[in-house]
Amino acid sequence: MADTSSVQIAVRMRPFNEREKKLKTAKCVEMVGQMCTVTDPESGKERQFSFNYCYDSFQPGSEHFASQEMVFRDLGISYLENAWKGYNCSIFAYGQTGAGKSYSMTGAPGQPGIIPRGLAEMFQRIDANDDPDLSFRVEVSFLEIYMEKVRDLFSATPTAGSLKVRESPKLGIYVEGLKKERVACYEDVEQLMELGNTMRTVAQTNMNAVSSRSHSVLTVLLTQTRINKESMTASDMTSKINLIDLAGSERQGKTGAEGQRLKEGSAINQSLTALGNVIEALADNCVASASGKKKAKKRLVPYRDSKLTRILQESLGGNAKTIMVAAISPAADNFKETLSTLRYANRASKIQNVAVINESPNEKVIRELKDEVTRLKAMLAAANGTAGRCCRRTSSRSRKRWRLS
């Protein structure tokens, strides 16, 4: 069953940080409902955007304050529900350095983000399962893309080189040799995540005391196995959940990066530009398709231009239900970066994905047969009702229906 849906966009504004407080910079972003308005501090010109979700986390305690819990209730629960149905899901956080991507995805001490909350909820749901014919398997892998190299964050001795990104009809896009750990409870994941996060490359810059210098991708494979006692068969349904914390775009003048930090910053910006090009091509193609013009030319989507876009290929324009979290600063000092993030997010909202339920052939046949039986029963009931009232006047259309089924 294919399901076409747009990439969902959630914009989140954080509070002022110490740097912005010291600068005594003004606030240039306002959020009301699904509208986000940003004001150019020089010209006073306003630009308005509308998104699926706008989270105002500027002032704790304010009327519309969006807490970690609230963000999770919308975005986290939505991806879990889709994963349970057997769809691939992706959440990726995008934004300027220090804008709050890791805060939304991973969280801070005492303020867990989407990833830990989602995994805890996943195991709660699994533990609550009382269907003896249904069992679950959860596997996780964790990688970072650092300076265009893919590294396994669960490996105690990360490879010197880069792991290879491959594609196969059965597995889709995958990273060859990446460790996949089976986990039985939330505590297992927590331990692995702690190990993985210590392996991740972070450093201090002028814009963020703990700045991610790499893109990280946590992949969770949720497999549901159903035993059919009558036919003595087992069928699997697997959902691949990608939870992605991108490194932030940055300006050298602001971060004060030099040496290795500068090289990292330019690798980050390069891969984000490649991501921007993919988003632009996909958005153009979707707009062209929607125009209904037969001759509308489709642009080639440059997924192969970077490791990041290759790994995100299924999440953008492919077989997945995807949410983009666009993290922004409220400060006038960051107006240009914020406007650029909002434009990026606006473009991404035009992308249509086509997700399919990832079930084994057995499961598919069983589901289709069940649907067929339900349909036939409904037709039979309807026909019996009609027959009782006017048995001689069965229309040719209904006879045809009988024959066709």
Ligand X SMILES: Nc1ncnc2c1ncn2[C@@H]1O[C@H](COP(=O)(O)OP(=O)(O)OP(=O)(O)O)[C@@H](O)[C@H]1O
Residues carrying an active site annotation? 98, 100-103, 245, 248
User: To which H or E segment does residue 207 belong?
Assistant: none
Q: Is 97 annotated as a binding residue?
A: yes
Tell which one of 9, 10, 17, 355 touches ligand X (CB under 6 A): 17
Binding characters for ligand X, 305-334, by CB under 6 A (x = yes):
----------------------x-------
Tell me whether residue 97 or residue 346 sits nearer to ligand X (CB atom): 97
Q: How big is the site for ligand X, counted in residues (CB under 6 A)? A: 20
Nearest-approach distance from CB 118 to ligand X, in angstroms: 17
Using the rule CB under 6 A, is 98 a contact of ligand X?
yes
Tell which one of 7, 19, 76, 101 touches ligand X (CB under 6 A): 101
Helices (H) and strands (E) in the chain, counts: 12, 20
- The Cα–Cα gap between 105 and 86 comes to 22
Using the rule CB under 6 A, is 21 a contact of ligand X?
no
Read off the amino acid at residue 335.
Answer: F
Instruction: Tell which residue, 80, 372, 76, 373, has the closest CA to residue 224.
Output: 80
Alpha carbon of residue 322 to chain centroid = 4
Stretch that binds ligand X, among 33-41, 96-104, 139-147, 188-196 (CB under 6 A): 96-104
DSSP 103: H
Q: Is 96 annotated as a binding residue?
A: yes
Using the rule CB under 6 A, is 214 a contact of ligand X?
no
Beta-sheet pairing, 233-245 with 215-228: antiparallel
Nearest-approach distance from CB 214 to ligand X, in angstroms: 9
- Residue 78: how many other CB atoms lie within 10 Å: 19
Tell which one of 211, 214, 239, 346 touches ligand X (CB under 6 A): 211
Nearest-approach distance from CB 306 to ligand X, in angstroms: 17
Q: What angle do CA 181, 248, 262 make, to 5 degrees?
A: 105
Q: Are 11 and 345 in contact (CB under 8 A)?
A: yes
Instruction: Tell which residue, 14, 15, 9, 59, has the closest CA to residue 34.
Output: 9
Which tokens sit at 154?
């669960």
User: To which H or E segment does residue 281 belong?
Assistant: helix 259-290
Tell me whether residue 248 or residue 318 sits nearer to ligand X (CB atom): 248
Stretch that binds ligand X, among 14-22, 32-40, 44-52, 178-186 (CB under 6 A): 14-22
Tell me whether residue 13 or residue 126 sits nearer to ligand X (CB atom): 13
Tell me whether residue 6 or residue 197 sits nearer to ligand X (CB atom): 197
Q: Is 224 annotated as a binding residue?
A: no
Helix segments in 129-258, DSSP class H: 186-199, 252-255
Nearest-approach distance from CB 229 to ligand X, in angstroms: 49
Tell which one of 76, 86, 95, 330 touches ligand X (CB under 6 A): 95
DSSP 312: T
Q: Which phi and psi (to 5°) does residue 175 adopt?
A: -105, 120
Nearest-approach distance from CB 63 to ligand X, in angstroms: 16
Q: Which residues are annotated as a binding site?
A: 95-102
Binding residues vs ligand X (CB under 6 A): 14-15, 17, 57, 95, 97-103, 108, 208, 210-212, 247-248, 327
